[in-house]
Amino acid sequence: MNINSFATIFLLALVSTQPALAHSPIQGIGDFYNGLLHPILVPAHLLLLVAIGFFGGQQGLDRVKPVLGMFTLATVAGLIIAWFSISIEFEIFILILSAVIGLLIVIKPKVSLFWCGLIALLAGFLLGIDSAQEALSGKDKLVTLFGTSIGINLLALYSIGFADYFNKKAWQQIGIRIIGSWVSASALLVLALSFSSQA
């Protein structure tokens, strides 16, 4: 490939770009699947879902069962507000909550049901309200938000189940705590980078 053909391809790639959106859908897979995959494709959401799931699994399924409904209701409430396209950026709050929950996983305290519920409500609401995709409207947006609610709850349940399953032996508990430290460190790094780029 010579330099002229490379330059032509490069210029065509620059001209054919589309605007970058923070929560843009993937073309061609459908609205429901865009919503279903949305929590996986947004790093801050994935960090919070792993953190809330591992925190719940570490606390024990019996302690967390009453809180799961609260998490789902808070997620739905946030998604309903997201339907109205609130254009406030909530990613910083999601990252702060991820860092705090990651630290709670590391120190492994026994948290009361009230605080578990409050953490679940806050996490679910923030995940829901930050899930609006700017490029969609009408029925497409509704189907996407429905898929997002299913994706958020499935990821939270799988994370809780994973952490509960691997919370039996001492070496497994250490692994869960290490993952909590990684979540916290990742969230703090992204926060530091976002604050340094604003300065």
Per the domain annotation, does 109 fall within a domain?
yes
Q: How many domains does the chain have?
A: 1
Quick: pLDDT tens for 73-108. Answer: 999 999 888 888 766 788 999 999 999 999 999 998
2-6, 79-83, 152-156, 181-185: least confident range:
2-6
For residue 55, is it within any domain?
yes
Q: What is the dihedral of CA 113, 117, 123, 126, to 10 degrees?
A: -160
Q: Between residues 132 and 43, which one has the greater pLDDT?
A: 43
Q: Compute and round to an integer the Cα radius of gyration of the chain.
A: 19
Contacts of 160 (CB under 8 A, 6+ apart): 53, 54, 56, 57, 61, 64, 68
Question: What is the CA angle 80-187-134, rounded to 5?
Answer: 35
Q: Residues, the chain, total? A: 199
First to last CA, the chain: 42
Kindly report the number of other CB atoms within 10 A of residue 125's CB atom.
Answer: 21
Q: Contact at 8 Å (CB) between 36 and 148?
A: yes
Domain of 88, in residue numbers = 31-198
17 in a domain, yes or no? no
Give domain status of residue 19, yes or no: no
**Mean per-residue pLDDT, 28-32:** 77
Spatial separation of the C-alpha atoms in residues 179 and 161, rounded to whole Å: 15
8 assigned to some structural domain = no
In this prediction, residue 136 has a pLDDT band, given cuts at 50, 70 and 90, of low
CA distance 181 to 54: 11
pLDDT at residue 76 in the model: 94
Look at residue 130 and tell me if it is in a domain. Answer: yes
* Within a domain: 83: yes
Closest to 147 (Cα-Cα) out of 26, 23, 29, 35: 35
* Residue 6 is assigned to a structural domain of this protein: no
Q: Is the pLDDT of residue 49 over 70?
A: yes
